[in-house]
Amino acid sequence: MTSPASSPDPSRAETIRIRAGFELHFELSQPTPMLFVVEPTDRPGQRILASRKRIVPDLPLAQHSSYLDPHGNTVWRLLAPAGRLEVSHDLLVEVPAHKDPVLPDLPKALVQDLPSPMLHYLLPSRYVDSDLLSAEAWQLFGHIQGGWAQAQAVCDHLQTRLQYGAGSTASTSAREAYQSGYAVCRDFAHAGVAFCRALNLPARYVCGYLPDIGVQPDYRPMDFHAWFEVWLDGAWRTFDARHNVPRVGRILIATGRDASDVAFNTAFGGSVLAHMKVWGDQTLDTELPPLAAGYPHTPTPEGLRLSAEWLQRD
């Protein structure tokens, strides 16, 4: 990913451009229906300037479509033939040049004052067993006044309680990861959502891209990143228990109750994820390079990295 020394200076502009994308290779033993939740869309603070999707082999129109799920996420739907399948996406996205907003004085709403659609985000879900963490949540954070203050206290606690490292599986719940003491970004997000819901703070899981802008580059294999949002003072607010510092360059792909709603791939049949690359870099480019120049391709060697974490999960 782009190092701070070579990045365009985000402090001199209101917005910056990010080149982001992925490449996935699958081996399929038979024709397989598949879903992909991987496409960022325009939203406040995020504008898609260019997008290139590539599927190999080419599929007839009848075997490839997209739709919006109940959370408003774009889902690619396809019937993949047996054999090797390659799915790639390359994007140029405009995002704010400033760091995640910090609003420490935001209040906490009473449950009876919450909009009805937010009540859904107070309930336990498949990976967010908030009911099993309720007693500990109120013991640790019940005395803290203010919605933002409580959510931030949750992030601070998870930073000290959990050590970043593989130890979970695709079926690990928030409570299980919390008790183990080890977590990857997915687990940090699930635990953050679980504690916030236990405290009557509506919270949802988020997946997307997070480039290394203004921070030391992480030379471990890049992956899609997970964080969470809390509904405070009439809007969704960003919290990231994994890093626990405001960051620049987030690109939101999808939101849901937990990771089950935003899995980047769901296969209805036998499939093996044989290869995965994810990238995200700040760039001065105004358009994507021609396909003939090489696809996929990222601006820096560090930006294109095999995602070992997800290969280990499967």
Q: What pLDDT, in 10s, does the model give residues 279-306?
A: 999 999 989 987 644 445 444 433 333 3
The closest of 197, 206, 204 to 137, measured between CA atoms, is 197
Q: Which residues pair with 305 in a beta bridge?
A: 278
Whether residue 57 has a cis bond before it, omega within 30° of 0: yes
In this structure, are 29 and 129 located in the same domain?
no
In this structure, are 242 and 137 located in the same domain?
yes
Give the helix ranges, DSSP H, for the chain.
Answer: 134-141, 147-161, 174-180, 185-198, 308-313
- pTM here is 0.88
For residue 276, give the amino acid letter: M
Q: What is the pLDDT of residue 63?
A: 85
With bands split at pLDDT 50, 70 and 90, how would you rate the model's confidence at 2? very low
Residue 249 lies in a domain: yes
Q: What is the pLDDT of residue 310?
A: 32
Mean pLDDT, the chain, integer: 89
For the residues 243-267, what does the mean pLDDT come to? 97
Q: What is the pLDDT of residue 12?
A: 59
Q: Which of 227-231, 258-262, 299-303 is predicted with the least confidence, judged by mean pLDDT?
A: 299-303
The number of domains in the chain is: 2
Range(s) of the domain holding residue 270 = 10-97+263-313
Residue 302 lies in a domain: yes
In this structure, are 172 and 40 located in the same domain?
no
Beta strand 83-96 with 15-28 is antiparallel
Whether residue 246 has a cis bond before it, omega within 30° of 0: no
In this structure, are 81 and 136 located in the same domain?
no
In this structure, are 195 and 127 located in the same domain?
yes
In this structure, are 117 and 83 located in the same domain?
no
Q: Is the pLDDT of residue 49 over 70?
A: yes
